[in-house]
Amino acid sequence: MDYSSLFRLDGKTAVVLGGGSGIGRESARALAAHGAKVVCADYNQVTARETAELIGPAASAVQLDVLDSDALAKAAASLGQIDIVVLTAAVNVRKRLLDYTRAEFDRVIALNLTATFEVVRAFGGAMVERGSGSIIAFSSIRAVTVEPGQGAYAATKAGMVQLLRTAAAEFGPAGVRVNAIAPGVVETPLTQQIKNSPEWYQAYADKNALGRWAKPQELAGAVVYLASEAASYVTGAVLSVDGGWTAVDGRFDPPAS
């Protein structure tokens, strides 16, 4: 075993869905830095191109709507051999359940859960036939811990975990690995509403063991790990990258003696 190349991705091609910004952009950059060719896919073609330009010749950009099953199937068929799929696209409508509309609920379900199902099917089929591949999707700490106003989002993220575990069980005999990453609070466009409230922002920072929010680039290492041979025996797993959020139950500051 050449441990010096354990995390290298030379000769691999990755598709990052949601690669136009936030965690997706940093994931694409990290994968390329470790030798992969990266397809930056996003609903927003402009931001996808911006990510590809940041990376350079090893990257390309495509406009892709993960809610369009036909477009996903065409992309999976036309992009050539895909070794790594990273799904970061998500939406959250922060409302208490009694204030939710059915349309809002359906919107969250569609992007966070139905799209995961479609992505796994669209790209997983060729991987199973070939006998190799790594699928990585972003769940959340909300899959295991909730708060008022996060009900629909939490339900989708928990559902995503079980969907991915099922894919891991079904694809594993063919050599395809399927895993989830569960971030805590990360400074992305999805959390802008919280960042706009200093009190809310600080309350979230104080909740985890490290006492701060994550930057998107701090999730990229987990993506590279799960994509690489370093994780060759890891499948059906949920990797928490949450600053200790789910390990800590409240805070205690002892009085000075």
How far is Cα of residue 43 from the mean position of the Cα atoms in its chain?
16
Sign of CA dihedral 51, 53, 55, 57: positive
The residue-averaged pLDDT of 166-191 equals 95
- Residues in CB range of 247: below 8 A, 6 or more apart: 209
Tell me what the pLDDT averaged over the chain comes to.
95
Which residue did the predictor score with more confidence, 47 or 255? 47
For the residues 15-32, what does the mean pLDDT come to? Answer: 97
pLDDT in tens, 85-126: 999 999 999 999 999 999 999 999 999 999 999 999 999 999
Percent of the chain as helix, strand, coil, to the nearest 5: 50, 15, 35
First vs last C-alpha separation in the chain: 53
Contact 38, 14 (CB under 8 A): yes
pLDDT of residue 90: 93
Contacts of 250 (CB under 8 A, 6+ apart): none
pLDDT tens-digit map of 194-205: 888 999 999 999
Residue 192 in this model has a pLDDT that exceeds 90: no
Task: Exactly one of 153, 201, 204, 233 is catalytic; name it.
Answer: 153
- Taking alpha carbons only, the member of 2, 79, 1, 4 closest to residue 34 is 4
Q: Is residue 191's pLDDT more than 90?
A: no
Predicted local confidence at residue 112, as pLDDT = 97
CA nearest to 224, candidates 179, 167, 157, 170: 179
- Of the pLDDT bands very low, low, confident and very high (cuts 50, 70, 90), residue 256 is low
Residue 214 contacts residue 183 (beta carbons within 8 Å) = yes
Q: What is the dihedral of CA 10, 52, 60, 219, to 10 degrees?
A: 50
Which domains, from first to last, does the chain contain?
A: 3-185+220-244 (3.40.50.720)
Residue 252: pLDDT above 90?
no
All residues at 6 or more sequence positions from 199 whose CB lies less than 8 Å from its CB, including other chains: none
Q: Which residue is associated with the tokens 């036309």? A: 78
Q: Is 233 a catalytic residue?
A: no
- The confidence score (pLDDT) of residue 188 equals 86
Please give the DSSP secondary-structure letter assigned to residue 111: I
User: What pTM did the predictor assign?
Assistant: 0.95
Task: Give the whole-angstrom CA distance, residue 140 versus residue 208.
Answer: 14
Q: Quick check: 24 pLDDT over 80?
A: yes
User: What's residue 66's pLDDT?
Assistant: 96
Whether 226 shows a pLDDT value over 70: the answer reads yes
pLDDT band at 234 (very low <50, low <70, confident <90, very high): very high
Residue 177 token pair: 């690995």
Alpha helices in 21-138 (DSSP H): 22-33, 45-55, 69-78, 102-109, 115-130
Please tell me the predicted confidence (pLDDT) of residue 257. 59
